[in-house]
Amino acid sequence: MISSRADILKRIDQAKLAMTAPSPARDYATTTTASHLELLDLLEDRILDYKATFTRSTDVESTIAGIIAAQGLKAIVVPPDLASIFTGAKVDTNLSSDQLDHMDAVVTASEIAIAVTGTIILNHSRLDQGRRAISLVPDTHICIVKAANVVGTVVEAVRKLNPRDHQTWISGPSATSDIELERVEGVHGPRNLHVILDLS
C-alpha cells in the first residue's frame, strides 16, 4: 500500500515532468564597442562610484608607498611574488586568520577587471594575487590592475578565466544591504579599497 507521502511525491514528480522551462534570454551584451581608453575611464567611474579610490600610475611602487604613508599603514602583508617589491612587508606563508587580522593592509595584483561593472577579479592560483584569505581579512586592500587586463563586459572576463581556479570578484569595499536595503560597509571584508591602474 502506497503511503500518502509517497503518493504526494509521485504526483509532484509527474507534474515536474509535464512542465517546460522557458529558455533564458541571450540578448545581453557580450562585447563592447568602446575603445580601450574609454574602458579605462569607465572602470575608474565605476570604482569611484563604489567609494573606492582609483589612481593611474606609471610607477606603482611609489604610488603604493604614498598610499601607505598617507593612510598611516604599518603592518602590510603581500603574496609571495610581490615580496621582492615591498621589502618591508610581511610575506604570506599561510598566515593564520588571527595574524592576518592584525595586518593593516594587503597589497595584491589582479587577474582581470571589468569596466562596465567596476569589478576586479583575483585568480588565487597566481602567486602575485595570493590566497583568498589575504584579500578578505585585512582592513585595507591595495589592488594593482594592469591596464592591459581591463575588459568591457562580464562575458569577456569569464571567457578569459579558468573556471577551475579559485576566484574572488571585488566590486568596491566590503558592504551589504541585507537589512532593510540599508547599505552598511565593512561587514565581510576590507572596508577600504585602493585600486591602482598600472600604465607602465
pLDDT digits (tens, 9 = 90+) for 73-108: 999 999 999 988 877 899 998 999 999 999 999 999
pLDDT attached to residue 186:
62
Place of cell 608607498: 65
Which residue numbers in the chain have pLDDT < 70?
1, 176-180, 183-188
pLDDT attached to residue 187:
64
The region that residue 189 occupies, defined by phi over 0 for left and psi between -120 and 50 for alpha, beta otherwise, is left
Per the CATH hierarchy, to which homologous superfamily does domain 52-198 belong? NagB/RpiA/CoA transferase-like (3.40.50.10420)
* Domain residue extents for the chain: 52-198
CB proximity list for 105: less than 8 A, separation 6 or greater? 68, 71, 73, 75, 76, 77, 138, 139, 140, 141, 142, 192
First-to-last C-alpha distance (Å) of the chain:
76
Strands in 109-166 per DSSP E: 112-114, 119-123, 140-146, 150-151
pLDDT attached to residue 1:
60
Q: Please tell me the pTM assigned to this model.
A: 0.82
